[in-house]
């Protein structure tokens, strides 16, 4: 069973929700349009890894991109959670990578097909340890970054989200329902680019967490 680590303890994972196109600059760099509501897709729990496992790239893609994101861990599920109550349902915050087989995704989009093959391969959902929500005063004031081989490729701040953390929790709970153990990737800023075998990745979430991953053959 898939699990994450929160405050040094293992907790099981239920669903993995992801939000796309949640930073305007990233929407622009891919030539997409800003959505009127959060764009939601799912990843299988088999895609989840932590820093104790290497990133492996799927053989069917030649263009896997990194997408660095704030990640939420839901401690209390619910339906129709009001925005003003949403943060109380979050047990922990982490940083992670939503990996995307961009070439595969582009072909699937042309055919009007789901993105699962491009988003759900093993190691496509990388997460750090999570810190308790009590350590985060305001999730809309968090900076984060990703460096690859020592070069910073992505910098973001959650104040630039098109849909806030509270809005995301409200939206997901209303349309789908949220369960204890759900993991939510909240979207990536600009700067996504291709990964290659041998790359070393270093992710930092404010002064809270840092984590390293390596791409292996």
What architecture is the 3-216 domain classified under in CATH? Alpha-Beta Complex (3.90)
Residue 145 pLDDT more than 90? yes
Domain boundary assignment for the chain? 3-216
pLDDT surpassing 90 at residue 112: yes
Of the chain, the percentage scoring pLDDT greater than 90 comes to 93
Q: Which residues contact 71 (CB under 8 A, 6 or more apart)?
A: 93, 94, 95, 96, 127, 128, 130, 183, 184, 185, 186
According to the model, what pLDDT value does residue 26 have?
85
Predicted structure pTM score: 0.97
Q: What percent of the chain has pLDDT over 70?
A: 100
- Under the banding of pLDDT at 50, 70 and 90, the label for residue 30 is confident
The tens digit of pLDDT for each residue in 201-210 reads: 999 999 999 9
The confidence score (pLDDT) of residue 38 equals: 95
Q: How far is CA 71 from CA 84, 128, 180, in A?
A: 19, 9, 15
């Amino acid at each position: 069973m898939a699990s994450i680590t929160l405050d040094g303890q293992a907790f099981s994972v239920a669903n993995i929700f992801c939000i796309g196109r949640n930073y305007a600059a990233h929407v622009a760099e891919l030539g997409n349009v800003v959505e009127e509501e959060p764009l939601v897709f799912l990843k299988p729990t088999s895609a989840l890894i932590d820093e104790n496992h290497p990133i492996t790239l799927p053989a069917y893609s030649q263009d896997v991109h990194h997408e660095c994101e704030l990640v939420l861990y839901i401690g209390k599920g619910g339906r129709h959670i009001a925005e003003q109550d949403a943060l109380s349902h979050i047990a922990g915050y982490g940083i992670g990578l939503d990996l995307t087989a961009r070439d595969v995704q582009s072909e699937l989009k042309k055919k009007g097909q789901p993105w699962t093959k491009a988003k759900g391969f093993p190691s496509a959902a990388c997460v750090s340890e999570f810190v308790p929500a009590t350590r985060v005063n305001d999730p809309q004031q968090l900076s984060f970054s990703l460096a690859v081989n020592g070069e910073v490729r992505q910098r973001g701040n959650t104040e630039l989200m098109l849909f806030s953390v509270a809005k995301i929790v409200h939206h997901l709970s209303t349309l789908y329902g949220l369960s204890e153990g759900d993991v939510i990737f909240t979207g990536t800023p600009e700067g996504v680019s291709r990964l290659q075998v041998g790359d070393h990745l270093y992710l930092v979430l404010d002064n809270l967490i840092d984590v390293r991953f390596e791409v292996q053959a």
